[in-house]
Amino acid sequence: MREDEARPALVLVNLGTPDAPTPSAVRRYLAQFLHDHRVVQLTRWLWCPLLHFVILPLRSPKVARKYAQVWMPGGSPLAVHTAALAEAVAQRLPGWRVAHAMRYGQPSVQAVFDGLRAEGIREVRVLPLYPQYSTTTTASVADAVAAHVGGLHASLLHDYHRDPAWAAAVAASIRAHWDAEGRGERLLLSFHGIPRRLVDGGDPYADQCEASTRAIAEALGIPRAEILLTFQSRFGRERWLEPYTQPTLEALARDGVRRVDVACPGFAVDCLETLEEIAVENAVAFRGAGGEALRYIPCLNAEPAHADALAALARQDAGWA
Protein backbone atom coordinates (compact mmCIF):
# COMPACT_ATOMS: atom_id res chain seq x y z
CA MET A 1 0.00 0.00 0.00
CA ARG A 2 1.31 3.44 -0.88
CA GLU A 3 1.98 5.77 2.05
CA ASP A 4 -0.72 8.22 0.86
CA GLU A 5 -3.32 5.44 0.75
CA ALA A 6 -2.96 4.96 4.52
CA ARG A 7 -3.10 8.70 5.17
CA PRO A 8 -6.60 9.81 6.26
CA ALA A 9 -8.19 12.97 4.92
CA LEU A 10 -10.53 15.43 6.59
CA VAL A 11 -12.70 17.64 4.40
CA LEU A 12 -14.41 20.61 6.02
CA VAL A 13 -17.49 21.53 3.96
CA ASN A 14 -19.14 24.93 4.18
CA LEU A 15 -22.18 26.32 2.35
CA GLY A 16 -20.43 28.31 -0.36
CA THR A 17 -20.00 31.78 -1.77
CA PRO A 18 -19.92 33.74 -5.03
CA ASP A 19 -16.52 34.19 -6.66
CA ALA A 20 -16.93 37.98 -6.74
CA PRO A 21 -19.30 40.65 -5.38
CA THR A 22 -20.87 41.15 -8.79
CA PRO A 23 -24.41 40.47 -10.06
CA SER A 24 -23.22 37.84 -12.54
CA ALA A 25 -21.16 35.93 -9.96
CA VAL A 26 -23.93 36.14 -7.38
CA ARG A 27 -26.44 34.94 -9.96
CA ARG A 28 -24.32 31.85 -10.74
CA TYR A 29 -23.98 31.06 -7.07
CA LEU A 30 -27.64 31.59 -6.21
CA ALA A 31 -28.73 29.52 -9.20
CA GLN A 32 -26.75 26.53 -7.95
CA PHE A 33 -27.82 27.05 -4.34
CA LEU A 34 -31.51 27.55 -5.05
CA HIS A 35 -31.67 24.66 -7.53
CA ASP A 36 -30.94 22.22 -4.71
CA HIS A 37 -34.16 20.36 -3.88
CA ARG A 38 -33.03 20.24 -0.25
CA VAL A 39 -33.14 24.04 -0.14
CA VAL A 40 -36.31 24.63 -2.16
CA GLN A 41 -38.71 21.73 -2.37
CA LEU A 42 -41.19 23.11 -4.90
CA THR A 43 -41.77 21.11 -8.06
CA ARG A 44 -39.16 22.01 -10.67
CA TRP A 45 -41.66 22.97 -13.38
CA LEU A 46 -43.01 25.66 -11.05
CA TRP A 47 -39.80 26.71 -9.33
CA CYS A 48 -37.31 26.91 -12.23
CA PRO A 49 -39.16 29.56 -14.29
CA LEU A 50 -39.81 31.59 -11.14
CA LEU A 51 -36.16 31.30 -10.12
CA HIS A 52 -34.60 32.20 -13.47
CA PHE A 53 -37.03 34.82 -14.70
CA VAL A 54 -38.04 36.57 -11.46
CA ILE A 55 -35.93 35.81 -8.41
CA LEU A 56 -32.41 35.76 -9.88
CA PRO A 57 -32.79 38.92 -11.98
CA LEU A 58 -34.23 40.83 -9.01
CA ARG A 59 -32.12 39.47 -6.17
CA SER A 60 -28.68 39.12 -7.73
CA PRO A 61 -27.87 42.88 -7.97
CA LYS A 62 -29.22 43.49 -4.45
CA VAL A 63 -27.25 40.61 -2.94
CA ALA A 64 -24.12 41.64 -4.84
CA ARG A 65 -24.27 45.08 -3.22
CA LYS A 66 -24.50 43.42 0.19
CA TYR A 67 -21.48 41.24 -0.55
CA ALA A 68 -19.53 44.31 -1.67
CA GLN A 69 -19.97 45.82 1.82
CA VAL A 70 -18.16 42.93 3.52
CA TRP A 71 -15.80 41.64 0.79
CA MET A 72 -12.22 41.08 1.93
CA PRO A 73 -8.95 41.40 -0.03
CA GLY A 74 -8.72 37.60 -0.24
CA GLY A 75 -12.34 37.05 -1.25
CA SER A 76 -15.63 36.69 0.55
CA PRO A 77 -15.43 36.40 4.35
CA LEU A 78 -16.80 32.86 4.23
CA ALA A 79 -14.13 31.77 1.75
CA VAL A 80 -11.28 33.49 3.57
CA HIS A 81 -12.23 32.26 7.04
CA THR A 82 -13.04 28.70 5.90
CA ALA A 83 -9.63 28.36 4.25
CA ALA A 84 -7.92 29.74 7.37
CA LEU A 85 -9.88 27.35 9.58
CA ALA A 86 -8.88 24.36 7.44
CA GLU A 87 -5.23 25.42 7.69
CA ALA A 88 -5.51 25.76 11.47
CA VAL A 89 -7.10 22.33 11.79
CA ALA A 90 -4.39 20.83 9.56
CA GLN A 91 -1.73 22.10 11.96
CA ARG A 92 -3.41 20.03 14.67
CA LEU A 93 -3.68 16.84 12.63
CA PRO A 94 -0.15 15.78 11.63
CA GLY A 95 -0.31 12.86 9.26
CA TRP A 96 -3.72 13.91 7.90
CA ARG A 97 -4.58 15.58 4.63
CA VAL A 98 -6.96 18.42 5.50
CA ALA A 99 -8.93 20.23 2.79
CA HIS A 100 -12.02 22.39 2.56
CA ALA A 101 -14.87 22.36 0.06
CA MET A 102 -18.04 24.30 -0.66
CA ARG A 103 -21.43 22.72 -1.22
CA TYR A 104 -22.15 25.47 -3.75
CA GLY A 105 -19.41 27.29 -5.61
CA GLN A 106 -15.67 26.59 -5.46
CA PRO A 107 -13.80 24.53 -4.44
CA SER A 108 -16.56 21.99 -5.06
CA VAL A 109 -16.92 18.68 -3.26
CA GLN A 110 -16.34 16.93 -6.59
CA ALA A 111 -13.10 18.83 -7.28
CA VAL A 112 -11.75 18.17 -3.78
CA PHE A 113 -12.63 14.48 -3.95
CA ASP A 114 -11.01 14.22 -7.38
CA GLY A 115 -7.86 15.74 -5.93
CA LEU A 116 -7.81 13.33 -3.01
CA ARG A 117 -8.19 10.35 -5.34
CA ALA A 118 -5.33 11.67 -7.47
CA GLU A 119 -3.16 11.80 -4.35
CA GLY A 120 -3.93 8.15 -3.63
CA ILE A 121 -5.96 8.85 -0.50
CA ARG A 122 -8.76 6.40 0.24
CA GLU A 123 -10.11 7.18 3.74
CA VAL A 124 -12.00 10.48 4.02
CA ARG A 125 -13.91 12.04 6.88
CA VAL A 126 -16.32 14.80 5.86
CA LEU A 127 -17.16 17.40 8.50
CA PRO A 128 -19.95 19.78 7.44
CA LEU A 129 -19.40 23.12 9.17
CA TYR A 130 -22.97 23.13 10.49
CA PRO A 131 -22.99 22.40 14.23
CA GLN A 132 -26.73 21.68 14.09
CA TYR A 133 -28.08 19.09 11.65
CA SER A 134 -30.74 20.05 9.11
CA THR A 135 -32.08 18.40 5.99
CA THR A 136 -31.45 21.74 4.24
CA THR A 137 -27.72 21.77 4.97
CA THR A 138 -26.03 18.62 6.32
CA ALA A 139 -28.24 16.29 4.30
CA SER A 140 -27.37 18.25 1.16
CA VAL A 141 -23.67 17.75 1.89
CA ALA A 142 -24.38 14.03 2.26
CA ASP A 143 -26.04 14.11 -1.17
CA ALA A 144 -22.91 15.66 -2.71
CA VAL A 145 -20.66 13.14 -0.98
CA ALA A 146 -22.76 10.24 -2.24
CA ALA A 147 -22.69 11.63 -5.78
CA HIS A 148 -18.91 12.02 -5.94
CA VAL A 149 -17.52 9.45 -3.51
CA GLY A 150 -16.44 6.90 -6.15
CA GLY A 151 -13.25 5.10 -5.09
CA LEU A 152 -13.18 6.73 -1.65
CA HIS A 153 -14.31 5.36 1.69
CA ALA A 154 -16.09 8.37 3.16
CA SER A 155 -17.81 8.91 6.50
CA LEU A 156 -19.66 12.00 7.60
CA LEU A 157 -20.25 13.70 10.96
CA HIS A 158 -23.91 14.63 11.14
CA ASP A 159 -23.67 17.28 13.86
CA TYR A 160 -21.70 18.53 16.84
CA HIS A 161 -24.34 20.73 18.42
CA ARG A 162 -23.56 19.70 22.01
CA ASP A 163 -19.86 19.02 21.70
CA PRO A 164 -18.33 20.29 24.97
CA ALA A 165 -15.19 21.72 23.37
CA TRP A 166 -17.19 23.56 20.70
CA ALA A 167 -19.66 24.96 23.26
CA ALA A 168 -16.75 26.01 25.48
CA ALA A 169 -15.14 27.82 22.53
CA VAL A 170 -18.35 29.75 21.80
CA ALA A 171 -18.75 30.60 25.48
CA ALA A 172 -15.12 31.76 25.70
CA SER A 173 -15.64 34.12 22.75
CA ILE A 174 -18.70 35.63 24.45
CA ARG A 175 -16.86 35.93 27.76
CA ALA A 176 -13.90 37.63 26.05
CA HIS A 177 -16.31 40.16 24.53
CA TRP A 178 -17.83 40.85 27.94
CA ASP A 179 -14.40 41.23 29.51
CA ALA A 180 -13.38 43.76 26.84
CA GLU A 181 -16.64 45.67 26.30
CA GLY A 182 -18.77 45.00 29.35
CA ARG A 183 -21.88 42.87 29.31
CA GLY A 184 -24.90 44.08 27.38
CA GLU A 185 -28.38 44.12 28.84
CA ARG A 186 -29.35 41.07 26.79
CA LEU A 187 -27.48 38.20 25.10
CA LEU A 188 -29.14 37.01 21.90
CA LEU A 189 -28.07 33.93 19.90
CA SER A 190 -29.25 34.14 16.30
CA PHE A 191 -29.38 30.93 14.25
CA HIS A 192 -30.18 30.61 10.56
CA GLY A 193 -33.86 29.86 10.08
CA ILE A 194 -35.57 27.10 8.11
CA PRO A 195 -39.24 26.66 7.16
CA ARG A 196 -41.41 25.60 10.08
CA ARG A 197 -42.96 22.79 8.02
CA LEU A 198 -39.58 21.02 7.87
CA VAL A 199 -39.38 20.87 11.66
CA ASP A 200 -43.00 19.76 11.83
CA GLY A 201 -42.00 17.00 9.41
CA GLY A 202 -39.20 15.73 11.67
CA ASP A 203 -36.15 17.89 10.96
CA PRO A 204 -34.24 18.02 14.30
CA TYR A 205 -32.72 21.45 13.65
CA ALA A 206 -34.84 23.50 16.06
CA ASP A 207 -34.30 21.06 18.93
CA GLN A 208 -30.56 21.06 18.27
CA CYS A 209 -30.43 24.87 18.27
CA GLU A 210 -32.11 24.82 21.68
CA ALA A 211 -29.70 22.14 22.91
CA SER A 212 -26.74 24.22 21.67
CA THR A 213 -28.09 27.26 23.51
CA ARG A 214 -28.33 25.26 26.72
CA ALA A 215 -24.80 23.92 26.28
CA ILE A 216 -23.43 27.43 25.70
CA ALA A 217 -25.31 28.76 28.74
CA GLU A 218 -23.84 25.96 30.84
CA ALA A 219 -20.35 26.71 29.55
CA LEU A 220 -20.86 30.40 30.34
CA GLY A 221 -22.11 29.56 33.82
CA ILE A 222 -25.38 31.45 33.37
CA PRO A 223 -29.03 30.31 33.43
CA ARG A 224 -30.54 29.36 30.08
CA ALA A 225 -33.23 31.98 30.74
CA GLU A 226 -30.64 34.74 30.35
CA ILE A 227 -30.18 33.93 26.64
CA LEU A 228 -32.61 34.79 23.86
CA LEU A 229 -32.71 32.32 20.95
CA THR A 230 -33.91 33.66 17.57
CA PHE A 231 -33.81 32.75 13.88
CA GLN A 232 -32.66 34.93 10.99
CA SER A 233 -32.42 34.98 7.18
CA ARG A 234 -36.02 34.15 6.38
CA PHE A 235 -36.73 33.81 2.65
CA GLY A 236 -40.16 33.75 1.03
CA ARG A 237 -43.60 34.17 2.52
CA GLU A 238 -44.16 30.92 4.40
CA ARG A 239 -43.73 30.63 8.14
CA TRP A 240 -40.19 29.92 9.30
CA LEU A 241 -38.85 29.10 12.74
CA GLU A 242 -39.70 31.78 15.27
CA PRO A 243 -39.01 34.11 16.96
CA TYR A 244 -37.43 36.06 14.11
CA THR A 245 -34.23 37.93 14.94
CA GLN A 246 -34.92 41.43 13.63
CA PRO A 247 -38.44 41.84 15.09
CA THR A 248 -37.10 40.56 18.44
CA LEU A 249 -34.33 43.15 18.43
CA GLU A 250 -36.78 45.92 17.56
CA ALA A 251 -39.11 44.82 20.36
CA LEU A 252 -36.21 44.86 22.83
CA ALA A 253 -35.35 48.41 21.82
CA ARG A 254 -38.96 49.55 22.20
CA ASP A 255 -39.00 47.97 25.67
CA GLY A 256 -36.04 50.10 26.73
CA VAL A 257 -33.07 47.79 26.12
CA ARG A 258 -30.18 49.95 24.99
CA ARG A 259 -27.28 47.51 24.54
CA VAL A 260 -27.63 43.98 23.20
CA ASP A 261 -24.91 41.41 22.50
CA VAL A 262 -25.53 39.14 19.51
CA ALA A 263 -23.65 35.96 18.57
CA CYS A 264 -24.39 33.51 15.75
CA PRO A 265 -23.15 30.09 16.91
CA GLY A 266 -24.83 28.21 14.07
CA PHE A 267 -22.30 29.74 11.68
CA ALA A 268 -18.79 28.29 11.91
CA VAL A 269 -17.24 31.35 10.26
CA ASP A 270 -18.34 34.88 9.52
CA CYS A 271 -20.20 35.42 6.28
CA LEU A 272 -22.79 37.67 4.63
CA GLU A 273 -25.48 36.60 7.09
CA THR A 274 -23.44 37.60 10.12
CA LEU A 275 -21.41 40.59 8.93
CA GLU A 276 -24.06 42.31 6.81
CA GLU A 277 -27.42 40.99 7.99
CA ILE A 278 -26.69 41.06 11.74
CA ALA A 279 -23.82 43.51 12.27
CA VAL A 280 -25.13 46.08 9.76
CA GLU A 281 -28.78 45.61 8.81
CA ASN A 282 -30.08 44.40 12.17
CA ALA A 283 -27.92 46.93 14.03
CA VAL A 284 -29.58 49.73 12.03
CA ALA A 285 -33.02 48.28 12.80
CA PHE A 286 -32.19 48.06 16.52
CA ARG A 287 -31.06 51.67 16.66
CA GLY A 288 -34.03 52.78 14.59
CA ALA A 289 -36.37 51.26 17.19
CA GLY A 290 -34.65 53.16 20.02
CA GLY A 291 -31.66 51.01 20.93
CA GLU A 292 -28.16 52.41 21.24
CA ALA A 293 -25.74 49.60 20.36
CA LEU A 294 -25.97 46.12 18.88
CA ARG A 295 -22.58 44.61 19.67
CA TYR A 296 -21.93 41.72 17.31
CA ILE A 297 -19.65 38.96 18.65
CA PRO A 298 -17.72 37.41 15.73
CA CYS A 299 -17.96 33.75 14.81
CA LEU A 300 -15.22 31.41 15.96
CA ASN A 301 -13.54 31.53 12.53
CA ALA A 302 -9.97 30.16 12.80
CA GLU A 303 -9.62 30.79 16.53
CA PRO A 304 -7.34 28.20 18.21
CA ALA A 305 -10.13 26.82 20.41
CA HIS A 306 -12.31 26.28 17.32
CA ALA A 307 -9.56 24.47 15.45
CA ASP A 308 -8.82 22.40 18.57
CA ALA A 309 -12.47 21.35 18.81
CA LEU A 310 -12.78 20.35 15.16
CA ALA A 311 -9.49 18.45 15.19
CA ALA A 312 -10.67 16.52 18.24
CA LEU A 313 -13.93 15.68 16.46
CA ALA A 314 -11.94 14.37 13.48
CA ARG A 315 -9.96 12.03 15.69
CA GLN A 316 -12.89 10.61 17.65
CA ASP A 317 -14.71 7.49 16.46
CA ALA A 318 -18.20 8.33 17.69
CA GLY A 319 -20.69 10.09 15.41
CA TRP A 320 -19.16 9.25 12.03
CA ALA A 321 -21.32 7.33 9.57
Q: What angle do CA 247, 208, 146 make, to 5 degrees?
A: 115
34: Cβ contacts below 8 Å, ≥ 6 apart: 40, 51, 55, 56
Contact 290, 126 (CB under 8 A): no
Would you state the pLDDT for residue 113? 98
Mean pLDDT throughout 117-141? Answer: 97
Q: Residue 82: its pLDDT value, please?
A: 98
Q: What is the pLDDT of residues 23-38, one digit of tens each?
A: 999 999 999 999 998 9
What angle separates helix 56-70 from helix 23-35, to the nearest 10 degrees? 120
Instruction: For the domain made up of 164-297, give the CATH fold.
Output: Rossmann fold (3.40.50)
DSSP code string of 127-192: EES-SS--TTTHHHHHHHHHHH-TT-EEEEB---TT-HHHHHHHHHHHHHHHHHH---SEEEEEEE
pTM for the full predicted model: 0.96
Can you tell me the distance from the alpha carbon of 209 to that of 162, in angstroms, rounded to the nearest whole number? 9
Query: So what's the pLDDT on residue 1?
Result: 41
CATH number for the domain running over 4-160+304-315: 3.40.50.1400
Delimiting residues of CATH 3.40.50.1400 domain(s) in the chain: 4-160+304-315, 164-297
